[in-house]
Chain A
Amino acid sequence: MKPQNSSQRDVLAHAVVVGGVFFGCASFFIAPAMQKRADTRAELVAVSSQLSESEALSKRSDALLSTLNNAQQYEQAILDRSAAASDELSLYEAYRSISSDLGIEIVRFDPRSIASTVPTRSRRGEESKAVSPEFAASVRIDASGPLPAIIELIDRISTEAGFVRVRSARITPNDEVGDDGVTLSLECEHYGFRVPDPSELFTEDAADGEGA
């Protein structure tokens, strides 16, 4: 019986050694290899997700970029238009420049500040801060000159002196200026705008709400 038990102990010892070898192999070779594969798979999934997100973002970005370019053109146009309506002096310079070009004499230039308090709403109805004009003034002038020049004066003031609303105008003949001479009494409202920074206009909550 003793040799038999000895053989069984030998087998048991061998089994323990073999088990240890397996455990070592599993710990040092198989487990790291499987971990590497798992990491690579996870990385593959991650980059695949990034790719799909990036492609979607790229498509939306293209559309958004086009819109942004368009908006930037509007913004530049607003700024250009508002340059002559930044204050009373610049308005006066604009009037004087136009009248000088047309050979019209402005006998009275009477600017008065006005306030615009009309709130604005975003397209989706969320409350946002109102965009107020940077400058708003009402100008009353009296001028005389040939009718074509007066018409040209009104046209250029309407398009070159900021955003203009003509409140009233009165044209009466004035023979002293010439055969087609007229006298013009004109009252206009001039507004100068600046596209505000979005942070000034939208609160984070409002922006998030719109985004959702």
Chain B
Amino acid sequence: MAPTQTTIELSATRIAVQWPGRGAGSLLRPFKPGEWERIWSGDSDLLTQTVRSLLSDAGIEGGRATVFYQSPTMVCGLFSCPAQVRDVTSAARMALTDIATMDLTINPWCVQPLARDRNGEPRRRHVAMTADTDESVSRLTDAFLNAGLAGVDAVPMETALTAGTVDHALNASAKGRSIVSVHFGQTRSVIIAAHDQRLLLARPVDFGTDRLIEALSHSTHRMGESSPGEDLAQSLLFGHGLPTPGQTIEIGSQSLQAADILPAIQPVLQRMLVEIRQSVRFGLSDLSENPIVLICGSGANIPRLPEAFATELGFECIADQTVTSVELSDLIHAQEAMQNGLRVRLIPRRDAAAGSVRSLRNALYAGSAAALVFGAGHTAMVMQQAEQLRPQVDAIRAQTPPVSAGILEPVEAANRVRAVRATIEAIDTNVGERSDIASLLQELCVLTAETAILTDIEFSGGRDAECRLRGYTRAEADDPGSSVRLLIDNLRSSPLIETVRLEGTQTSVLDDHETQYFSAVLKLRSVPHPITRPSATVASVPVESQP
């Protein structure tokens, strides 16, 4: 079954492919002399055919591929800026513009924050930046697409290795240690100096172990070796490592002396040592302690290389030999960097524009779908709210008591009450308070029964009603006025009478009895007509026209 995601390395010396899955494997094909130059000088078919042949041999049909590549025109770098800078992308782009000799408005470029210092002051952010000409990226992408791949992510190899080495150095420099991480790659190398998880220096080196192999192959060729020099040199370098002085190395029927090997590789090693020393000098000069040199990449698999470096540098050197594949060392390290979060890739402008349109279309479709869903949901919610309100409306409507204007119209009722009240007031005005004559007459009958005989009762009505009484009493011999006095007292005790005024008396003899005639005026108490004292309810009826 064909893999869907392959990883391809395209360097100046070879093209390698690695695929994962159940049938995981890798293939490598070295470029013949001049092929690399032809590829980038315009012979696109050569790269297409080479890739197609390689994919065919690997059994890969279609799928996407991540291509870690080198090209003559690509630019890579590491940019550091204060952590307070907000628009890191713009700052990194300006830095990239300074180091690139191409117009970034028409050529693809990419920047991505890698890490930030965890300690030290001022803290800085570190950004990987890369750019290439649109022609190179398009040529690369077209070649791989024409070879049958469905999609290509073009990642500059140097950027991936730099990102991986930065991570390696920062992680190793924890607990206040000073670290110099040397990625001794196959074609290029990177030196990173860090202290206490703070990146202090990044230095690209434009050679790798291939330079050692090349030097060794020239040396073996000079010694008359008939076999291809590079294979022998590679097996010699990674199989036996750096020889000790006076050592004899047996390879097949050949025996090689250290004196034949060391002079060939010594310049390359010395140059790497110089690069490391300068990195320590410039990057870690303020630190008193000696750094630890970590060697990774294909150079870490050269036996006795760390010991030789430690002897020369005077520092502790440790080889990271977790990647044992010498030929695919750079590819594996670049792949690890991508797995650790590196998101750098270069896209041809036409693809970027098409991608923008595609993104716009996808956003349009997604937004439309989301808007439709939202609109439908909103509509449903609105309808549901309306439906939920309906029972409330009906419930309140049911609670509302019907008001029949025919039964009780507040204004009309109030006016009716007022009319009754006005009528009562009219009655009070016309009739007014009065004296209860009938009760008075009955009272007089009782009060005068034992004391006097009334001969004339004259009543005059009105509010100050008076009643004039005339009559006589039988006078007592010893006290002639006692009967009249008793009569007056009795009259004054009546609740119906307010005052009693005796107008006059006259004594005469009647039937052999001494009789005393009298005349008295009673001022009567007035009592209101019952109907002119309406109840408080009627008197205080609220007269309001507002319902």
Partners in one complex: yes
Binding site for B on A (CB under 8 A): 4, 7-8, 10-11, 14-15, 18, 21-22, 25-26, 29-30, 33-34, 36-37, 40-41, 43-44, 47-48, 50-51, 53-55, 57-58, 60-61, 63-68, 70-72, 74-75, 77-78, 81, 116, 118, 120-124, 128, 130-133, 136, 147, 150-152, 154-155, 158, 163-173, 189, 191, 193-198, 201-202, 207-208, 210-212
Any chain A CB within 8 A of the CB of B288? no
Complex Cα distance, B532 from A163, in Å, reads 10
Cα distance, A41 to B389, chains bound together (Å): 7
Report Cα–Cα, A77/B537, bound state, in Å: 16
Q: Which of A30, A37, A132, A152 contacts B438 (CB 8 A)?
A: A152
Among the listed stretches B144-152, B155-163, B354-362, which one makes contact with chain A, having 4 or more residues with CB under 8 Å of it?
Answer: B354-362
Q: Return chain B residues, CB-CB under 8 Å to A64.
A: 408, 410, 413-414, 417, 541-542
With A30-B382, A195-B419 given, is the CB distance from A210 to B459 under 8 Å?
A: no
A201 to B430, Cβ gap below 8 A? no
Interface of A is mostly: helix
Residues of B that sit less than 8 Å from A by CB: 350, 353-354, 357-358, 360-361, 364-365, 368, 371-372, 375-376, 378-379, 382-383, 385-386, 389-390, 392-393, 396-397, 399-401, 403, 408, 410-427, 429-432, 434-439, 441-442, 445, 454-462, 529, 531, 534-535, 537-539, 541-547
Chain B residues near A48 (CB, 8 Å)?
A: 396
A54-B401, A60-B410, A60-B542 known; A25+B420 contact, CB < 8 A: no
B404 to chain A, nearest CB (A): 10
Report 20 cross-chain contacts, Cβ distance below 8 Å, ordered by A residue: A7-B358, A22-B371, A61-B410, A64-B408, A64-B541, A70-B538, A74-B424, A120-B425, A154-B437, A163-B531, A165-B462, A167-B462, A169-B458, A169-B461, A170-B459, A171-B458, A201-B418, A201-B419, A210-B545, A211-B411
Contact A147 B417 (CB under 8 A): no
- Determine whether the beta carbon of B386 is less than 8 Å from that of A47: no
B531:A211 contact, CB within 8 angstroms = no
Q: Across the interface, do B353 and A158 meet the contact criterion of CB distance under 8 Å?
A: no
In the complex, which residues of chain A have a beta carbon less than 8 angstroms from the beta carbon of B416?
Answer: 68, 71, 198
Q: Which residues of A contact B436 (CB under 8 A)?
A: 158
A29 smallest CB distance to B (angstroms): 5
Among B378, B393, B537, B544, point to the contact of A30 (Cβ < 8 A): B378
Max chain B CB contacts within 10 Å: which of A66, A81, A154, A194?
A: A154
Interchain CB contact under 8 A, B541 and A67:
yes
The answer to whether A71 and B421 have CB atoms under 8 Å apart is yes
Q: Which residues of A contact B364 (CB under 8 A)?
A: 11, 14-15, 18
C-alpha spacing A71/B422, complex, angstroms? 11
Whether A74 touches B537, Cβ cut-off 8 Å, given contacts A48-B396, A198-B419, is: no
Given contacts A37-B382, A64-B414, contact A196 B423 (CB under 8 A): yes
Whether the pair B357, A8 counts as a contact (CB closer than 8 A) is: yes
Are the C-beta atoms of A70 and B535 separated by less than 8 Å? yes
Closest to B417 in A: A71
Q: Which of A4, A58, A132, A189 contacts B426 (CB 8 A)?
A: A132
* Chain A residues closer than 8 Å to B419, beta-carbon distance: 131, 195-198, 201-202
Shortest beta-carbon distance, A60 to chain B, in Å? Answer: 7
> Complex formed: what's the CA distance from A197 to B413 in Å?
11
Residues of A within 8 A of B401 (CB): 54-55, 58
Task: Determine whether the beta carbon of B393 is less than 8 Å from that of A211.
Answer: no
Query: Bound state CA distance, A73 and B378, in angstroms?
Result: 63
> Closest Cβ of chain B: how far from A36's Cβ, in Å?
5
Q: Report chain A residues within 8 Å CB of B410.
A: 57, 60-61, 64
A-B contacts besides A61-B403, A81-B531, 9 pairs, CB < 8 Å: A29-B376, A37-B389, A57-B410, A74-B531, A154-B438, A166-B461, A169-B458, A202-B415, A211-B544
CB distance from A39 to the nearest CB of B (A): 8
Name the B residues within 8 Å of A150 (CB-CB): 441
Contact present for A33 and B383 (CB under 8 Å): yes
With the chains together, A67 CA to B420 CA distance in Å? 11
CB-based nearest B residue for A58:
B401
Distance in angstroms from A55 CB to nearest chain B CB is 8
In the assembled complex, which residues on chain B have CB atoms less than 8 Å from the CB atom of A60? 410, 542, 544
Beyond A30-B375, A172-B455, is A65–B408 a contact (Cβ under 8 Å)? yes
A81 to B424, CA, bound (A): 12
Cross-chain contact B545 with A151 (CB below 8 angstroms): no
- Per the bound structure, the CA–CA distance linking A83 and B197 in Å amounts to 118
